[in-house]
Structure 1
Amino acid sequence: MSLQVETISGYTDNMADFENLLNDFISSHSIIYPIDYKSVSPQNDAPQIIALITYETSNEQWQDIFNQIKDYDYNQLLTAVLKLSNMNLSIDTIGDIVTRYTDPTESVTSDLAKLHDIQIELDKDLDKEG
């Protein structure tokens, strides 16, 4: 199994629909981290609420990446892969970066440094978990 991140959104003036979507997703996936909720300022509409959900998946492409990194510091690489997945990079690009990290003939210090400099909202939550 490997990890993916899903975003579910709804409006605060219709929480029942949002909760139904969230509960349907939770009941059909293996959720492994606490769900992170964000709110979005209204723009001529009701405030929007967003749930970021990290869950396990058997997606084969992701599994290939995680198989490559299983002998390395899991938390550090998990953080890096989650950051990459949130940057909307392709599976191939993420795989290339992870492969460079796990290949002893490649210097990956700069790749990892770049990953840790990426500032996304998920960072704070992962740091609390780690």
Structure 2
Amino acid sequence: MSANTSGSENVVPEGGTQDRDQLPLPDFDHIPLGTLPSRIHSLDERALTQLLGWERAHGNRLPVTRVLESRIEQLRNGAEPSGSIPKEMPEMTTTQGGSPVTQATARDHVPEPAKSSPMLPSQPQ
């Protein structure tokens, strides 16, 4: 592991990389923790070690390092990489979805108060 004696933030742990474009998963930093295990299932130990090095040098998020370390341990105990690396991450789409904003759904819109009804005894008449 590299030592940081100069105070530089560019130290990369063993197996890591300083170039985000060289990571085995595109947009690794933006993958939600809940989908990370399925995203890394197809990676081999070298690729996982590269991701772990990147994570430790940059975000160093404990839940992420634990998921990566756990998968590395599984591979060392005989598990095999399986599946394929998804090309797209549906949870990270760039397209807009949902309903368009209208006057009735805009945040600044204040609906008119409901009129009282004799059918609702909790409302004054």
| TM bucket normalised to smaller | under 0.3
More strand by share: 1
Point out the structure with max Rg over C-alpha: 2
Q: TM-score, normalised by structure 1?
A: 0.24
TM-score, normalised relative to structure 2: 0.25
